[in-house]
Amino acid sequence: MKKTSYPVTNIGSVSLLMIFIVLSLTVFSALSLSGALREYRYSQKIAQHQADYYKASGSASRVLKEIDQILGQIHTDHPDTYYESAEQQLALIEGVKTDLASESLSIIYQIPIDDSQSLQITLALNAPDELAQGYYRITAWQEISSSEWNGDDSPNLMTF
């Protein structure tokens, strides 16, 4: 009688293929989970930043309303000394800086967004004869860095 022999390599190649497929699926699922978690944390960080920005923007709008009311009162009470009166009255608002360097008065104020950023608003007052267009023009409404950057320029030397 003749014994039939089966090739052993066919059983081994199927097992190796299955091991490779299972390992590939495991690696791809781990990478997918890692990417999803990273994107979730990033979206949470962006959502918090947006909420902080809109809160600061609301505060900036309230300050802008107060400035608008002061300028309206000055325009009716002191139209001949509009810039000087505006500079004096706006100096009383906390955080508002005025600059009379050019012929028109500019107003700058900042509202903190978080520990490292602030919302800076810059207004340019219109001339008293151009008040039909409003008391001011918003020239900047932007996020700025409010923390100082300290770069580490020291060489990275290995010490033994």
Domain that holds residue 107: 36-145
In a domain, 42, yes or no: yes
- 127-131-134 Cα angle (round to 5): 115
Residue 6: predicted pLDDT: 61
In a domain, 65, yes or no: yes
pLDDT in tens, 43-75: 999 999 999 999 999 999 999 999 999 888 888
In a domain, 108, yes or no: yes
In a domain, 14, yes or no: no
Q: Is the pLDDT of residue 160 over 70?
A: no
**How many domains are there within the chain?**
1
Q: What's the token pair of residue 141?
A: 């409404």
The sign one gets for the Cα dihedral 63, 69, 70, 72 is positive
> Distance from first CA to last CA of the chain, Å, rounded?
75
In a domain, 153, yes or no: no
Average the pLDDT over 118-124 and give the result.
92
In a domain, 97, yes or no: yes
Q: What is the pTM of this model?
A: 0.71
Nearest CA-CA partner of 94 in 134, 139, 59, 49: 59
Which of helix, strand or coil describes residue 78?
coil
In a domain, 86, yes or no: yes
In a domain, 31, yes or no: no
Please indicate whether residue 149 or residue 93 has the higher confidence score (pLDDT).
93
